[in-house]
């Protein structure tokens, strides 16, 4: 069972290790987890992940999507580098997801680790879907993928806050999923939002809709006082 001290997962979307650790010195001990994507972990490797994990649990967000053996090896490498969470695409399909569940069980005998299956990116809107996706709505895709993830045995899901109500009200295993929601903005950032994520929510809205963890990046990264911003978010949720 994964336990984080609060639902904030800091999206560490910066360009250098110097920027990263400058920010972590301010807020690394306050947040529940630290999300690190290819932008940093491909540049600095496992030693960077290991050092970041000294602040809070690390969430490696490379969204692995490949043949089964490659996805399994990539998740294993994420675990070996010190991560507590790692993402794969739910679109990998049932066979791969089932084998990932078996790997997750094995790794949890060593230490807590959770695989998070990504549904539909928060940067997509209905009209931006690839042509072969457009015969279903975003909501239908997310519901179908959430059911697939639950059937595989995995219990970690990444989706927009806008689809949480569909998952939460179901009477099937998707209702037990650990739901991670990206695209989280504080209120003032929602008003002026011109960024690439389209399906966004405030922290309070997402938690009330059933989120278990919140991926927050720009609202903290662009703040003049990141520590104060994190404390403010914690006070409101």
Q: Tell me how far apart the alpha carbons of residues 106 and 108 are, in angstroms, rounded to a whole number.
A: 5
Determine contact, residues 147/140, Cβ cutoff 8 Å: no
The structure tokens listed for 221 are: 């990264």
Say if CB 98 and CB 122 are below 8 A apart.
no
Q: Where are the alpha helices (DSSP H) in the chain?
A: 17-27, 38-52, 68-80, 94-107, 138-152, 164-168, 187-191, 203-209, 218-221, 226-236
The one catalytic residue among 35, 51, 63, 198: 63
The conformation of residue 136, written as its DSSP 8-state character, comes to S
Would you say 102 and 113 are in contact if contact means Cβ atoms under 8 Å apart?
no
Say if CB 39 and CB 15 are below 8 A apart.
Answer: yes
Q: Residue with structure tokens 């996706």?
A: 133
Residue 63 known to be catalytic: yes
Catalytic positions are: 63
């Amino acid at each position: 069972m994964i336990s984080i001290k609060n639902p904030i997962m800091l999206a560490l979307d910066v360009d250098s290790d110097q920027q990263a650790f400058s920010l972590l010195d301010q807020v690394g001990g306050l947040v529940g987890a630290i999300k690190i994507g290819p932008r940093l972990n491909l540049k600095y490797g496992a030693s960077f992940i290991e050092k970041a994990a000294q602040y809070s649990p690390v969430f490696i967000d490379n969204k692995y999507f490949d043949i089964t053996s490659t996805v399994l090896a990539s998740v294993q490498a994420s675990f070996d580098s010190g991560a507590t969470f790692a993402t794969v695409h739910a679109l990998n399909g049932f066979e791969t997801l089932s084998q990932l569940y078996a790997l997750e069980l094995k790794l949890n005998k060593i230490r807590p680790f959770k695989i998070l299956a990504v549904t539909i990116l928060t940067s997509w809107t209905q009209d931006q879907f690839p042509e072969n996706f457009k015969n279903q709505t975003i909501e239908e895709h997310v519901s179908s993928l959430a059911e697939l993830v639950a059937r595989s045995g995995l219990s970690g899901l990444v989706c927009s806050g806008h689809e949480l109500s569909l998952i939460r009200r179901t009477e099937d295993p998707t209702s037990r999923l650990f739901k991670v929601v990206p695209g989280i903005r504080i209120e003032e950032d929602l008003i002026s939002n011109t960024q690439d994520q389209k399906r966004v929510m405030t922290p309070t809205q997402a938690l009330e809709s059933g989120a278990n963890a919140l991926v927050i990046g720009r609202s903290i990264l662009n703040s003049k006082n990141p520590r104060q911003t994190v404390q403010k978010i914690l006070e409101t949720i």
